[in-house]
A and B are shown apart, each in its own frame.
Chain A
Amino acid sequence: MEIFHYEFMQRAILAGLLVGLICPAVGLFIALRRMSMIADALAHVCLSGVAAGLMTGVHPVLTASLFAAGGGLVIERLRKTFRCYSEISIAILLSSGVAIGAILLDLGKGYSANFMSYLFGSIVAINLQDLKIILLQGTAILALVWLLKKELFYISFDEENARVSGIPVEAISVCFTVLTALTIAMSIRVVGILLVSSLMVLPVATAMRIAGSFRGALLLAVLFAESAIMVGLFASFYINLAPGGAIVMTSVFLLLATLAYQKVVSQPGNKGKSFPGGNPVTGEANQRCQE
């Protein structure tokens, strides 16, 4: 196929496939721990990191990683300070990230065009240096998430019991927030700062509607993310769509198609099928989802 003959598309596909593996793997724990908005706040902190990178001449993905990791530590501290109103910490970080980014961009006038490619992503413009950073950072994140998988599962399912049984919940939570920040920073070249959190959440949301097991949810989320990235890249190459937007809209379509499918099979006459996420027709959860 023509798309595979171009070096820039080969780089894009390789980076896309790695991001499509890591984002849902981290995203599944983000969703289960109800941290989706934290991911969004950290993505906005990347704005200031990218602006700092463009100003100083350091690779923006590296500065974004540094800023996001710092933001992750700050958010963990703020969540303790505002324990009963932890969403306040998200608002503080999100607005601070955008504000610092705006100031830095204003100071370093002339970077705005380059900045746009980080705002909405430019996967097809990934160069060899970008690819190396994504591969190194991505492999390290994947290895750590894999090593902490069982602890993250336990904490996500039952934090109180995890604490009681001696699992270092605080340390693992901080480590996971930093991993989330690094995942977001490495993915901004693919889908952009404004869309990156959706790549972590949408495939997971779709998988959670279907899967009855954790393993199944993880595999399906990766499958949906990889499919969305490939469809987005093909759409970008053949019909000249913005790749970041095309990837996210494919994820949205997959979610809507899944919900529609569930609605059809749950109609009267299609009894006997149960979904782990509850009844998609009534929107009623099986039993509880808030505790």
Chain B
Amino acid sequence: MNKQTVLEISRLSFTYGCHTVLDDINLNINSGEVVCITGPNGAGKTTLLKLLLGQLKPASGTIKLFGVDSARFEERYRIGYLSQRATHFNTQFPATAREVVVSGRTPKVGLFKPLLKEDFIKADQALEMVGMTEFANEPVGNLSGGQQQRVLLARTLVCEPDLLILDEPGAGVDRGALDAVYQLLKTLNRQQGTTMLIVTHELEGIASIMTRQVCLDKRICTCACHQYTSPEAQMKHCGRRMMIQLSESQPKEPCYGNLSL
């Protein structure tokens, strides 16, 4: 497969007022990679995702998506995003799983154009991919947390994204449901070569396909390639100060080092 650069982050910094959240981040992700971002609470993981998704503007530095500056990037449907609050929707919302999934085609179809039969076929295929075909016509609010997560993943996949960004996919779902989601991600990556950027604390399920693990705490602290790094090893990489943060919830201080990946 041609290893095209999907994401290119260069000297990225972000501040909330005078508080620096991200400092001098450099990270490249090539197509087909599965990169997991880990780090303590408040490390700037969600802020980094918001910057990638165009929800925030960087204080300095650049982000390129598929070679295009993120501010000018218009093909947003090429990025599939699953928020950690995705399953926190209003469960009284009158919609079936199929209606929710097909709505994911909205950005690709475009403004003022109706959804066509082809879009519903894609929705059915996405539901089949996540093993939710039998629940297609169920009200989405009546499904279990794990089932809702799979339906929302199907909505993310229905546009056949080139880059999948998942923010804590394990949040609010039980171990069994999370394993099923990880199994699906493995299949997607191996069969379709989907590039993935996953923010997670749960590395065990995804370790077998993870190509890189990035530890973030304002700066990028470690980059472990093709291997699962235990929390203890992460601490070792990030230095003693970070270990103190993780174990004793001390006020944060920046990690040592900043690897350009």
Inter-subunit contact B107/A276 (CB<8 Å): no
CB distance from B68 to the nearest CB of A (A): 13
Determine the chain B residues whose CB is within 8 A of the CB of A166 once the complex forms.
Answer: 74-77, 107
Chain A contacts with B in 271-291, Cβ cutoff 8 A: 274, 276-278, 285-291
Q: Is A261 an interface residue (CB 8 A)?
A: no
Query: Residue on B with the closest CB to A204?
Result: B94
The interface on chain B, measured as residues whose beta carbon lies within 8 A of the other chain's beta carbons, has a size of 38
A276 and B83 within 8 A (CB): no
For B55, the chain A residues whose CB sits under 8 A away are 163-164
Q: Are A287 and B86 in contact (CB under 8 A)?
A: no
- Are B89 and A291 neighbours in the complex by a CB distance under 8 Å? yes
Interface 0/1 of B79-95, CB less than 8 Å to A: 10101011011111111
* Given A164-B76, A274-B142, residue A291 in contact with residue B90 (CB < 8 A): yes
Q: What residue of chain B has the Cβ atom nearest to residue A290's Cβ? A: B90
- Closest-CB distance, B132 to chain A (whole angstroms): 15
- What residues of chain A lie closer than 8 Å to B53, measured between beta carbons? 164
> Contact: B76 with A165, CB < 8 Å?
yes
Q: Does B137 contact A (CB under 8 A)?
A: yes
Of A207, A213, A285, A291, which is within 8 A of B88 by CB?
A291
Chain A nearest Cβ from B233, distance in angstroms: 33
In the complex, what distance in Å separates the CA atom of A291 from the CA atom of B139? 18
Is A136's CB within 8 Å of the partner chain B? no
Q: Which of A165, A166, A276 has the most CB of B within 10 A?
A: A165
Query: Is B40 part of the binding interface, using a Cβ–Cβ cutoff of 8 Å?
Result: no
A116→B77 CA distance, assembly (Å) = 52
Q: Which of A168, A217, A274 contacts B94 (CB 8 A)?
A: A217
Q: Which of A145-153, A176-184, A190-198, A241-249 contacts B (4 or more CB under 8 A)?
A: A145-153
- Inter-chain contact B106/A286, CB cutoff 8 Å: no
Interface residues of B (CB under 8 A from A): 53-55, 74-77, 79, 81, 83, 85-86, 88-96, 99-100, 103-104, 106-107, 109, 111-112, 114-115, 137-139, 141-142, 159
User: A164-B54, A165-B77, A288-B91 are known contacts; what are 12 more A-B pairs with Cβ within 8 Å?
Assistant: A147-B112, A148-B112, A150-B115, A153-B106, A157-B93, A158-B86, A165-B106, A212-B142, A213-B139, A214-B95, A285-B91, A286-B92
